[in-house]
Amino acid sequence: MRSTTAALGLAVAVVFALGFTVPACALPVPDPFPRADLQSGLNRLVDSGSASAALLRIQQGNDEWAAQAGANQLSSDVPPSPSSRFRIGSVTKTFVATVVLQLVDEGRLALDDPIDRHLPGVVPNGRAITVRQILNHTSGIYDYAHERDWSTNRWRGDARFRTYRPQELLDVAFAQPPYFPPGQGWHYSNTNYIVAALLIERLTGRPYGVEITERILRPLRLNQTSVPGTDPSVPEPHAHGYTEVEGEGWADATEMNPSLDWAAGEMISTTTDLNRFLHALLGGELLGPATLGAMRETVETGAGFRYGLGLQEFDLPCGTTIVGHSGQLLGYLTYVTAAPDGRQVTLSYNPYREQASTADSVLGLLATAQCGPPSP
């Protein structure tokens, strides 16, 4: 009786002698993503009560995977669709900054121009505040959203359907003193991006949302991304967002007129579109090398991340530095990120009951997606 090794050797010899090839599908292909760990992380986010629904999409090159957990509504057990749309909040700022930088590429302004040169009389002390300081939040301009009833991160009852004009938002901000002299500190201020959008409109003669659509959404075919204006709805499919109202229980916060956020946070998108947008942006499809380099130059914030021109930079516990932006509107929280190796990860979830562990769970998900599961 021949040994197993000898028999195997003979079989291999016959295969090659006859010109047969081993099918590629017979060879094991390593999984590029830690799918089981990511799905478990999403499930824990929901099972802990931190989120009512959660979506994640990870992509690197031609490899892509999406996962979801939770339900579309509290009263339902229907899971959210991987193609669900959601409010992206301050991720809108990255789109706005990109258009401003495209205008820099076109020679219509420079980053170190005083804002007063292009918007005369609009911003107090505008001759001392530069376009760059507007985009990286070093202008010192007060954040109107810190004022009571002027933030979409708070429940506003029927007032959430009211339409706001950009000038109203500026009036609230400029009624308060600045945080510091221009360039002498860092403070996140939604007002900066109201100013940035007005700058786009002054230079182009068109609404800032039209410029985003024509310059970014259509060329990249981001067909599920929109600038809703005063439309309070979120297109289907979508998971509902909720907030707890004192004395009333849980309120459905999905529908709201986003004009209170305007260019600081009104847009709606999907995990697919956001991954595509950030990949194109960082890959040089939307900006020239100099302006993209300027966009990625960061300042220290003291807030756990560094800030560029509409971009945040985070250090993960595994040592990887990711770039992208986070965004929050009532009922929705989103992170769109990219690692140096080109891996794209977008996480969006519907906050529910805040837990002490929620921030660690989210950080752990992003770290697992970008670096792999932690060593046992």
Active site residues: 90
Closest CA to 280 of 338, 328, 327: 338
- Exposure b/e, 13-35, CB count within 10 A at least 16 = b: eeeeeeeeeeeeeeeeeeebbbe
Structural contact between residues 101 and 107, judged by C-beta atoms closer than 8 angstroms: no
- DSSP annotation of 374 reads P
Q: For residue 351, give the 3-state DSSP assignment.
A: strand
Work out the number of other CB atoms within 10 angstroms of the CB of residue 95: 29
Give the separation between CA 364 and CA 361, rounded to whole angstroms: 5
- Exposure b/e, 318-351, CB count within 10 A at least 16 = b: eebebbbbbbbbbbbbbbbbbbeeebbbbbbbbb
What are the residues whose beta carbons fall under 8 Å from the beta carbon of 38, sequence distance 6 or more?
Answer: 56, 58, 67, 365, 368, 369
Torsion region of 163: left, alpha or beta (phi above 0 gives left; psi -120 to 50 gives alpha)? beta
Question: Count of alpha carbons within 13 Å of 321, Cβ hemisphere only?
Answer: 9
Q: How many residues does the chain have?
A: 376
Map tokens 């002299």 to a residue: 181
